Amino acid sequence: MVDRQRVNRNDIAEISQKQRVIKALEHSIDITRRLEWSVNNDALILEHLNGLKHYIGEDVYYAAVNHTGADIPAGTCVGFAGVNGEERVEIQKYIADGTFHEVYLMGVTAEDIADDAEGKVTAFGYVRGIDTTGTAYSETWLIGDILYAHPTTLGGLTKVKPTAPNRSMEVGVVLKVDASEGILLVRPTLHPHMRYGVFSDTTDQTASATATPTAITFDTTDQSDGVALGIPTSRVLISEAGLYNFQFSLQVTSASSSVKYIEVWPRINGINVANSNTKWSINSNTAVIVPALNYILPMNASDYFELMFAVNDTNVKLDASAATGYSPAIPSVILTVTQVVD
C-alpha cells in the first residue's frame, strides 16, 4: 500500500515535470523576445511578442485588453473601461465631450489591438509608425503641434483646443509628420473639469405671507455641466462632490411707500445654512434694489442647494422685466454656480 502511494506520487511528479518541459518548449518555439541597443536613442530596446519595440526608460505602457467589439488601431486615444477577470485594464475609445470622466483618459495605443486581444497603451513616451498628418480629422498637423483628446470623434485627436462644455486635455505633441511613419510624444495632462451652472427666472415671485420662508424658483437654464435644476425647480442639484461658489442677484421692487425688508439665505438639502442670512430694506413705492451675494459651500454628490427669501410686507416682490427696444429682459433672479475645488 505504501509502495503504491510512493509510485503514484512519483508518477504525478514526473508527469508535472514533463508538462513544464512541454510548456517551456512551446514558449521557446512560439515566442521570440529580443534585446538590442539603440545608438541613436542611447537606450535598450525590448521587442515584444508582436514586434512592438519598447525603448526602455523612454516608454511607459499599460497592458490593456480590448473588449469593445471592434479593433482599435495604433494611435487611438483611449480611456479606462473597467477591469477584466485576468486583472487587466479594459480600454475603449475616448471622447472629450463629457461622456467619460476626464480621469478615465489613459493614453494612446502603441500598437493595433484586435477585439478580445491584449496590447500596449502608451501612458508616457513615443508612439511610432502612425499617421500624424491630421488628415483623418480634416486637419493639417505640423511638428510641434499639441494634440488634444477629440471632442466629437471617438478615439480621435485634434490640434484645436476644445472649449467648455467639452474637456480640454493635452494628450501629446507631434514629433514627426508622416502618413504611416509618424511619431507622437505622449504625455496626457488631466485638467480637473469644474462643474457649473447658470440659472434664472423670467417671472415675478412673491411670498404668500410675511415672515414665511419661500424658496426661489428658476425657469431657465442658461449654462449647465454637472449642476442642474431639480424638482421642484427651486432645487439646484450637484452631481459631483466639491467646494462650490453660489452667487446670486435679485431684482426687488416695492408696491408701497413704507419701509420694508427682504431677507435672503441658503439651504442645503432643506436645512438652513448657519449664519448665512442677510436683510435689505426698501423704502419707497416702485423703488428697485438689487441684492447680490455669494456663498462658498461644501457639497456632496446628489446634494441640492436652495435660495430662500422672506419679507415683512407682501408688497415686496422679486420682479422680472420684459426686454425693451434697446435692452434685454431682466430676470427676477440670476444664480451662478461654479465648482471651486473638486
pLDDT band at 22 (very low <50, low <70, confident <90, very high): low
* Residue 192, pLDDT score: 75
> What's the pLDDT band for 147 if we cut at 50, 70, 90?
very high
Residue 131, pLDDT > 90, answer yes
In sequence order, which residues have a C-beta less than 8 Å from that of residue 329 and are 6 or more positions away? 202, 320, 321, 322, 323
Of 58-62, 158-162, 221-225, 229-233, where does mean pLDDT reach its minimum? 58-62
Q: Are residues 92 and 126 in the same domain?
A: yes
Higher pLDDT, residue 34 or 178: 178
331 and 244 assigned to the same domain: yes
What per-residue confidence (pLDDT) applies to 270? 97
Tell me how far apart the alpha carbons of residues 26 and 298 are, in angstroms, rounded to a whole number: 59
With respect to residue 298, please indicate whether it lies within any of the assigned structural domains. yes
Lowest mean pLDDT, pick from 128-142, 178-192, 224-238: 178-192
The tens digit of pLDDT for each residue in 192-244 reads 788 999 999 999 999 999 999 999 999 999 999 999 999 999 999 999 999 99
The predicted structure's pLDDT at residue 5: 46
Most confident of 3-7, 142-146, 192-196: 142-146
Residue 9 lies inside a defined structural domain of this protein: no
Backbone torsion region of residue 97, taken as left when φ is above 0, otherwise alpha when ψ lies between -120 and 50, otherwise beta:
alpha
Tell me, yes or no, whether 49 lies in a domain.
yes
Distances (CA, A) of 63 to 90, 235, 285: 9, 44, 72
Q: How many domains does the chain have?
A: 2
Same-domain status, 178 and 78: yes
Q: Are 43 and 170 members of one domain? A: yes
Q: How far apart are CA 154 and CA 26, in angstroms?
A: 39
Same domain (yes/no): 173, 57: yes
Q: Looking at residue 54, what is its pLDDT? A: 84
Q: Quote the domain boundaries for residue 170.
A: 33-186
CATH number at residue 269: 2.60.120.40
Within a domain: residue 304?
yes
Q: Judge whether residue 248 has pLDDT over 90.
A: yes
Tell me what the mean pLDDT of segment 49-66 comes to.
86
